[in-house]
Amino acid sequence: MTETIEITRPDDWHLHLRDGAAMADVVGHSARQFARAIIMPNLKPPVTDTALALAYRERILAALPEGSGFEPLMTLYLTDLTRPEEIDRARASGAVAACKLYPAGATTNSDSGVTDIARIAPVLEAMQRNAMPLLVHCEVTDPEVDIFEREQRFIDDKLVPLLRDFPELKVVFEHVTTADGVALVREGPETLGATITPHHLRYNRNALLAGGIRPHFYCLPVLKHERHREALVEAATSGHPRFFLGTDSAPHPRTAKLSDCGCAGAYSAHAALELYAEVFDEAGALDRLEGFASHHGADFYGLPRNQERVRLTRTPWQVPAHYPFGEDCVVPLRAGETLSWRLETA
Ligand SMILES: NC(=O)N[C@@H](CC(=O)O)C(=O)O
Ligand SMILES: [Zn+2]
Ligand SMILES: [Zn+2]
């Protein structure tokens, strides 16, 4: 049995850090594990332009633990009002790595998102010209569509036409959750990649309802049927270069999760790599973890691979029941349970 693995320090290609005191409480978890992370822009109000992104970046850097070399890669939140000139400004800043497309109303803080992709065609052209990747929350928002089928519908109705209309645009299918999404990325153009979260790799939709309603497993896209989970594990552990690590770690105050209308998001930054290692270990594919976690994302984004290395050992540890989170606390994935892998820290 493998007891230790050493890999290039990984990056997180999909991370929610939030802001203020709450951000300061969680950023250390990501900085301990990852060299870089794509920082999602769905703050309240959202990060819609370069100036806001640069200011947010400074707040993140200021909140980092002493001596941390963690590099936040900023993103812009696209709205119906985003101008193509903003993309040129974002590119020129050197600090904005991508733009995020939230279909309006699809997920947490997406109210100002895009109502119709046709409206941002000039912006997508500017992105294509600037080699600026488009990150997509792939779910339709039509209330008539079953919540478990919103990703498949988005693929057929929105994503396939988008890929056809912008053949040079790099697109990341964020937090892919279905066998259909996996198939599209596998068979799709070189310009299409996908992030996969630890929770969608590890849990199917039973986790939401087994023995009672489990709000900490509620996230978007919602957990899916076991057959989809199996397709995700197959994709992540296959060595295919366009699948890569993106935790979608999305902390919410405990009180906001435990409410009459609890919000969507699972917190995984405290043990991200350990959770992925568990999945790869179970699949007998620990030798493929490095590609998925540390190489494929950087290659897709056209960024250098990290030089530093990290070590994971088979050392069981218990996840705390909660972590501080601003005025409240956040309940992490696997709270109170034992994880078998542990990331060593220098
Ligand atoms: N994934 C989630 O369930 N929630 C994310 C938003 C998102 O990534 O869709 C959040 O910001 O809380
Ligand atoms: Zn999302
Ligand atoms: Zn997210």
Instruction: Convert the pLDDT of each residue in 206-251 to its tens digit.
Output: 999 999 999 999 999 999 999 999 999 999 999 999 999 999 999 9
Would you say 216 is a known binding-site residue?
no
Spatial distance between the Cα atoms of 65 and 76, rounded to a whole number of angstroms: 25
Residue of 208, 264, 250, 198 lying closest to 229 (CA atoms) = 198
CA neighbor of 15 nearest in space, from 293, 25, 34: 34
Would the pLDDT of 82 be above 90?
yes
Q: Which residues does a 6 A CB cutoff place in the pocket of ligand 1?
A: 16, 42, 107-108, 137, 219-220, 248, 250, 264-265
Q: How far apart are CA 311 and CA 124, in angstroms?
A: 40
Q: How far is CA 80 from CA 62, 236, 337, in A?
A: 32, 34, 43
Rg, Å, the chain Cα set = 19
- Residue 18 marked as a ligand binder: yes
Contact 189, 235 (CB under 8 A): no
C-alpha 107 – ligand 1 centre gap (Å): 6
Mean pLDDT of 99-123: 96
Q: Determine the Cα–Cα distance for residues 8 and 290; give it in Å rounded to an integer.
A: 7
Catalytically annotated residues: 248
Rounded to an integer, the average pLDDT of 179-187 is 98
**Tokens linked to 134:** 């488009």
Helix (H) or strand (E) segment spanning residue 186: helix 179-187
Ligand nearest to the CA of 251: 1
Return the pLDDT at 67: 95
CA distance 110 to 46: 9
Q: Is the pTM higher than 0.95?
A: yes
- Asked if 229 and 203 count as a contact pair (C-beta separation under 8 A), the reply is yes
How many helices (H) does the chain have, and how many strands (E)?
14, 13
On average, the pLDDT of the chain sits at 98
What is the whole-number distance in angstroms between the Cα of residue 247 and the centre of ligand 1?
Answer: 11
CATH number of 11-308: 3.20.20.140
CB atoms within 10 A of CB 51: 12
User: Is 330 within 8 Å of 253 (Cβ atoms)?
Assistant: yes
Q: What's the token pair of residue 346? A: 């220098």
How many angstroms separate the alpha carbon of residue 174 from the centre of ligand 3? 8
pLDDT category at 1 given cuts 50, 70, 90 is: confident
The yes-or-no verdict on residue 346 having pLDDT over 90 is no
Q: Which residues pair with 136 in a beta bridge?
A: 101, 173
ipTM over 0.95? The verdict is yes
17 is in an annotated binding site: yes
Q: Which atom of ligand 1 is nearest to the CA of 218?
A: 3
Expressed in angstroms and rounded, the spacing between residue 2 Cα and the centre of ligand 1 is 34
* Residue 204, marked binder: no
- Statement: residue 123 has pLDDT above 70: yes
Residues 255-280: tens digit of each pLDDT: 999 999 999 999 999 999 999 999 99
pLDDT band at 345 (very low <50, low <70, confident <90, very high): confident
The rounded distance, in Å, linking the Cα atoms of 55 and 57 is 5
**Atom of ligand 1 at shortest range from CA of 42:** 11
Q: What percent of the chain has pLDDT over 90?
A: 99
Distance CA 212, CA 190 (A): 42
| Inter-helix orientation angle 84-93/121-129, to 10° | 30
- The yes-or-no verdict on residue 284 having pLDDT over 90 is yes
Helical pair 272-282 and 20-33, crossing angle rounded to 10 deg? 40
Q: Which atom from ligand 1 is nearest to the alpha carbon of 107?
A: 9
